[in-house]
Every structure is written in C-alpha cells, then in structure tokens.
Amino acid sequence: MEIIKTVKQMQQAAHAIRTGGESIALVPTMGFLHEGHLTLMRVGKEHCDRLIVSIFVNPTQFGPNEDLEAYPRDTEGDLRKAENVGVDLVFMPSAREMYPQGAQTSVVVKDLPRHLCGLSRPGHFDGVTTVVAKLFHMVNPHVAVFGQKDYQQLAVISRMVMDLDMDIQIIGVPTVRERDGLAMSSRNSYLSAEERQSALSLKKSLNLAERLFNEGERRAQAVKDFVQSYILEHPHTEIDYIALCDPVTLEDVNTLTEGTLVALAVRVGKTRLIDNARLRKQKKSKKQ
C-alpha cells in the first residue's frame, strides 16, 4: 500500500493509474477508521480497479468552538485497517499542503447547506465542498463513495458534482451500525458508558417515527413531538434539531409521505451525534 503526502505526488500517481487504463475509486475520510469507513472502501473496491483513501482532518469544516483539536486520531491503526481492506493508496496531506498560504477560493453550494446541520454549523458545508472539490482535483477519481449517515453532506456533494459538471459517479452507502443500532462514528469514542446508552435513543426514535408512520400518522409535527419527548427521556441529551423533510431539497414538510427524511442531531453530553432514516411503508406480513 502506497502512502502519499504531497499534492504533486498524488496527482502524478493518479495520472499514472489513468494512463495505465485503470479506474480510480476515492473514499474521503477524516481517519480514526471504523467499520463504516471500511464498508465504503469495500464498495469502492467493487467499482474500480484502484482504491484510494484520503485521511485528512479538514480544519475548514470545523467551527471555532468545535472539536478540531480533540478530534480522535490513530494513523497507525488507520493504515493497518486500510491495508487489510486492500486499499492501494492512502493520501494523507498536512493542512499546510492542502491549503497553500493565502488560499482564498472556496466552493459554495447555495441552498442545501441552509438546512439541518448547516443551521448550527455555519460554514461547515463550505469547508466540506471546498476540500472535497480539491480532493477530486488531486485524485481525479471515476467514483467517490460517501456514507448516508451524513445525509446532508452526500446531498450537498452530489449537487456540487452535478452543478460543476464533475465527471465522477457519487455512491451513497447505507449507515453501518453497531449491533445495538448506534450509528458508527469516530465521535462515539467521546461517549461515556452512560452517555452511550442514551445515544441509542437516536436510532430508537427513528424506529419510533417509522412505526408511527406505518400506523398511519401523517402529521410531521406529531411525529416530531413524539421523537423529541422520547429522546429527552434519556439523560444527558439535548436536541440540536429534529427535521422531517424532503429528501432532495431538505425543506421541512408538514405531511409525511413514503421517503420523507427524518434527520436528527442530538448532543449527548458534549458529543454531537447525527442519524437519519427515510420513512418506508413496511410490508404487512402475510397470514398463514
């Protein structure tokens, strides 16, 4: 497995792969890899000849009071896991390498960041789209793989790719969960044992929303109220948002339909966690 730290070398390596007639899949990450990341990598591998993973904790997507400094890091463990999955190349630039001094250009998607996480994390998605656009220029992938756990991020990046005519196939992978339902996240490592118990309320409340929908509830506000009171029954929880929204525009809806996105951001202790689900009608089981 090759490890590259400079933009120039990355571009040369990508050029050599393409010249050799091979295709490239990119999985961008911020490291501290878990099974969610590794699943994205396996999907990337299925789609292309060569798999490139970037590990970069991107400072421009963290707000001034967020956890940039504390963000968990484990380069050695990450490289071992990447190698085991069969990654061909890891690109891990420094912040100085990524952002040349005096950098003043960014990629901004206009409307999608105005919802959900964008409301409490101003500038976050500008940081995301800028760094992902830069990674795309550096790695020149045919395919890039992202997790549906960060639903809004996937939506924003898909929009950017469409709007800027980037010739890259974006693949979204369903959220990978712990056995008890908790969505895997590098930030789960911040949780105490008690907080982790409370964190289960996110997925359980999504299940509750789905159950209400399947029982015939169509009022978004009623489901939101249920979800809110369910989560708040758990200690250390503070709700950032509960949104029932259109899965494409991310605009709030009043009436639920199949496919409506239920998206949550909840602080558990000091850790901000997100999760989401699309409402589906469950098939009624056939009676014998």
Q: Which two tokens stand for residue 142?
A: 């045919």
CA distance 168 to 145: 10
Cβ-based burial of 13 (10 A; exposed 0-12, middle 13-18, buried ≥19):
buried
Q: Which position among 37, 115, 124, 234 bears the catalytic label?
A: 37
Of residues 36 and 93, the one with the C-beta less far from ligand AMP: 36
Burial class (CB in 10 A: 0-12, 13-18, 19+), 27: buried
Measure the N-to-C terminal CA separation of the chain; round to a whole number of Å.
54
Task: Based on the residue annotation, tell me whether 34 is a catalytic residue of this protein.
Answer: no
DSSP string, 145-189: EEEGGGHHHHHHHHHHHHHTT---EEEEEPPPB-TTSPBP-GGGG
Q: Which is nearer to ligand AMP, 66 or 225 (CB)?
A: 66
Using rule CB under 6 A, residue 186 touches ligand AMP: yes
**Which CB atom, from 138 or from 212, has the smaller least distance to ligand AMP?**
138
Provide the minimum distance between the beta carbon of 158 and ligand AMP in the complex, in angstroms, as a whole number.
Answer: 12
The CB-of-84 to ligand AMP minimum distance in angstroms stands at 17
Task: Pick the binder of ligand AMP from 78, 88, 126, 150 (CB under 6 A).
Answer: 150
Indicate whether 141 belongs to the interface with ligand AMP (CB under 6 A).
Answer: no
Smallest distance from ligand AMP to CB 10, Å = 18
Which of 184, 245, 256, 263 contacts ligand AMP by CB under 6 A? 184
Residue in the shown chain whose Cβ atom is closest to ligand AMP = 147
Note the Cα 36 to chain centre separation in Å.
10
DSSP 219: B
Q: Could you give the string, one character per residue 37-76, with x where binding to ligand AMP holds by CB under 6 A and - elsewhere?
A: x--x------------------------------------
Binds ligand AMP by CB under 6 A, chosen from 130, 185, 205, 271: 185
Q: Which residues in 39-60 are b (16+ Cβ under 10 Å) and which e? A: bbbebbbebbebbbbbbbbbeb
Token pair listed for 94: 């420094």
Which range of residues in 1-9, 36-44, 129-137, 263-271 is near ligand AMP by CB under 6 A?
Answer: 36-44
Which lies closer to ligand AMP via its Cβ, residue 146 or residue 190? 146
The footprint of ligand AMP (CB under 6 A) covers: 29-30, 36-37, 40, 146-147, 149-150, 173, 175-176, 183-186
